[in-house]
Amino acid sequence: MNNISIWKDTSERTYYKKLDKDIDIDVLIIGGGITGVSTLYHLKDSKPKVALVEQNKIAYSTTGNSTGKLTYLQNDLLDKIRKSVGDKKSFSYISFEIEGMNRMVKLINDKKFDCDLTCVDSYLYTNKESEVDKLKDLSKFLNNRSIVTKEEECNLIESKYMIGVENTYMINPIKFVNCLIKDNKYPIYENTSIIKIEKEYDKYISYTKNNKIISKWIVIASHYPYFIKPMFFPIKVSLEKSYLSASKKKIDDISLISYSNPFISIRTYKDYLIYLSNSHALNKDIDDKHNFNELLKKVSDLKLKTSFLWSNIDIMTVDGMPYIGKIKDNMLIGTGYNTWGLINGFMAGVILSDIIKNKDNKYIDLFNPNRFSVKSIPKYISNTFKNVDGYIKGFKSNVDIDYKEGKKVLNVDNHTVLKKCPHIGCGLKYNEIEKTWDCPCHGSRFSIDGKCISGPANKDISISSKKM
Ligand SMILES: Cc1cc2nc3c(=O)[nH]c(=O)nc-3n(C[C@H](O)[C@H](O)[C@H](O)COP(=O)(O)OP(=O)(O)OC[C@H]3O[C@@H](n4cnc5c(N)ncnc54)[C@H](O)[C@@H]3O)c2cc1C
């Protein structure tokens, strides 16, 4: 079995060199997931000098671990948005999703992107009696706005009620990002982590370990920002982790998801069935092995043998809407996609590049990252408690603690790493299925030998590879 996402196994990789000199440019994009690469793509015909830096590998973090669905039937997210911002803005959100999906599909077709685009009906189901009316109401909300839904049935899962929409899509997300980058003319640097940003007059100076980048604009496309001060980010978001598998099974193409937790999400990819389950808030003290075992049990109940196994973490905002736009001066951000970041990340690239090009965009106010909502105060408070709770739980490790050079360290298979995450010092846990060190507070991940593979941490934790 491969303990990596199916997309990493089925996509070719272009290698980009590490930054090895100081550079002076107009726009620095930090992060090479869908948000960063889409911003780069949409700046391609403009004058500014642009560069993108990626701490690890292009599209190998959240984007390359997703399920690759492009749909606007997104579990209970629309209902969450309706509750927090009302029906008018919720309809703007849905219009944005449909516009974004159609824009991506047109681009894929026009440019003949080879990213395994598949047109499919999307289904949303519940197996709880108490949610049937909620689904009917959601369907009515969409129908009243000329979005056609139909009642459905499916023999793959048990359901009390199910609705579907036609003409939604599925892609291989890594192949899609690689296609976006194909004709790119700007420099891209992999294995290049930004560790600090300073402002000097009207320019930003971003520091890597050995170099600096001077730029007029900065686009933070790093998923969870590695700095925590601006925007009060930790209280405005929480993190959700899910577990995924891909097993050989040739069935008609399908894309379905449950309305609420416990989430089940299913899609086909060629002759594989991808199955997602066991979603939980990141700081819940549930070990990964338990979650992977539960997932494997569910998959084996469907009489499937798993070929790929992986997990993924995304950022949930208090009102369900993404944060896309200007944080301050010429610093922009695109994040907080509530597990629906392929369309949102792609469209963030459109919005952020329009801001840089001084072009109007009708969605700029909708996703303002500095918005504050009185209705969300209970959620801000609960997120604050979750952060403290995660930090305290982070002190317990699932691996024996040792000491080296006066520092607390952890040791697995001859690899010794620091016990604390370099982000804000939460204790790391070993994920023995994917062979990574994971931070239970904000989702940073490190390879077994301590290399940072996803933020917000931006430094490695390796000490040595020798057995102590
Ligand atoms: C289980 C799961 C399934 C999902 N399935 C879907 C789906 O089917 N459809 C959908 O639309 N969405 C899905 N999503 C959501 C989607 O995957 C994400 O919202 C989206 O990929 C986020 O993209 P991003 O570019 O913001 O982040 P990322 O893809 O994480 O990219 C950010 C990049 O920034 C880099 N970085 C971080 N810090 C630094 C630094 N200091 N210096 C340089 N680089 C840095 C990281 O290494 C990373 O590569 C899913 C999410 C989860 C958790």
Whether 231 has a pLDDT exceeding 50, the answer reads yes
Q: How far is the CA of 221 from the centre of ligand 1 (A)?
A: 9
Domain-located, residue 294 = no
Domain-located, residue 108 = no
Strand 462-464, strand 415-418: pairing? antiparallel
CA 175 to chain centre: 16
Most confident stretch, 324-333, 365-374, 450-459 = 324-333
Q: Are residues 328 and 217 in the same domain?
A: yes
pLDDT tens-place string over residues 372-415: 888 888 888 888 887 777 777 666 778 888 888 888 899 898 89
Q: Are residues 457 and 407 in the same domain?
A: yes
Helix orientation angle between 77-110 and 132-143, rounded to the nearest 10 degrees: 50
Whether 265 has a pLDDT exceeding 80, the answer reads yes
Around ligand 1, the residues with Cβ closer than 6 Å are 30-36, 53-56, 61-63, 66-69, 193-194, 221-223, 226, 242, 244, 276, 312-314, 335, 337, 339-343, 345, 454-455, 458
Q: Are residues 368 and 420 in the same domain?
A: no
**Identity at 467, one-letter amino acid code:** K
Q: What local confidence, expressed as pLDDT, does residue 468 receive?
A: 39
Q: How far is the CA of 370 from the centre of ligand 1 (A)?
A: 21
Domain-located, residue 22 = yes
CATH number at residue 24: 3.50.50.60
pLDDT band at 298 (very low <50, low <70, confident <90, very high): very high
Whether 467 has a pLDDT exceeding 50, the answer reads no
Q: Are residues 406 and 351 in the same domain?
A: no
Q: Are residues 342 and 371 in the same domain?
A: yes
Whether 425 has a pLDDT exceeding 90, the answer reads no
Residues whose CB is less than 8 angstroms from the CB of residue 117 and which lie 6 or more positions away in sequence, other chains included: 105, 108, 109, 169, 170, 171
Q: Are residues 224 and 339 in the same domain?
A: yes
Domain-located, residue 30 = yes
Q: Are residues 329 and 430 in the same domain?
A: no
Cross-strand pairs, 402: 409
Model confidence, pTM: 0.95
CATH number at residue 431: 2.102.10.10
Q: Which of 62, 220, 274, 338 to mutate to test the pocket of ligand 1 (most atoms within 8 A of CB)?
A: 62
Q: Are residues 226 and 325 in the same domain?
A: yes
Q: Are residues 325 and 438 in the same domain?
A: no
**How many Å apart are CA 59 and CA 136, to the nearest integer?**
37
Q: Are residues 325 and 458 in the same domain?
A: no
Q: Are 9 and 2 in contact (CB under 8 A)?
A: yes
Q: Are residues 359 and 403 in the same domain?
A: no
Domain that holds residue 413: 394-464
pLDDT tens-place string over residues 41-68: 999 988 889 999 999 999 999 999 999 9
Q: Are residues 420 and 459 in the same domain?
A: yes
Whether 246 has a pLDDT exceeding 90, the answer reads yes
Number of structural domains (the chain) is: 2
Domain-located, residue 404 = yes
Domain-located, residue 358 = yes
Domain-located, residue 116 = no
Domain-located, residue 245 = no
